[in-house]
Amino acid sequence: MNDQLRDLYVVDRVIHEPARLVIVSLLSGVSEADFVFLLRETGMSKGNLSSHLAKLETAGYIAVEKTYRGKIPLTICRLTDAGKSALDTYRESMKKSLFPARTVVKLLPA
């Protein structure tokens, strides 16, 4: 097996999970997002989204701030520097593994 494919074995499993990849990708395009926005954009259930946010927060990839807007609870999520770095690393890893540089082979005359 070549090194490019071998790299897929060591891919960041926290980000690689499709639901978390969607969340991190959404957060990479905004300065912050509230729970309702993420709920609407991902199509996940509240429990499922909460579970994935907790895993991303534990990994240090997102910061979660719980506050209130008036008397209504508000959960704000932001991608951390570690999360941005992890997403960049993940993207590069996928590019290298899935779209390897073509090797030119010269054939010697017979």
Q: Please report, for the chain, the start and end positions of each structural domain, with discontinuous segments joined by +.
A: 3-93
In this prediction, residue 51 carries a pLDDT of: 98
What pTM was estimated for this model as a whole?
A: 0.83
User: Could you say which architecture CATH assigns to the domain 3-93?
Assistant: Orthogonal Bundle (1.10)
- Spatial CB neighbours of 12, under 8 Å, sequence gap ≥ 6: 86, 89, 90, 93
In this prediction, residue 11 carries a pLDDT of: 84
- Spatial CB neighbours of 11, under 8 Å, sequence gap ≥ 6: 90, 93, 94, 97
In this prediction, residue 98 carries a pLDDT of: 76
Tokens of 48: 């499922």
For the beta sheet containing 62-69, the strands, ordered from the edge strand earlier in sequence to the opposite edge, are 33-34, 72-79, 62-69
Strand partners, 66: 75
In this prediction, residue 3 carries a pLDDT of: 67
Spell out the per-residue pLDDT of the chain, length 110, in tens: 566 666 667 789 999 999 999 999 999 999 999 999 999 999 999 999 999 999 999 999 999 999 999 999 999 999 999 999 999 999 988 888 777 665 555 566 65
> Can you state the angle between helices 81-98 and 18-28, rounded to 10 degrees?
120
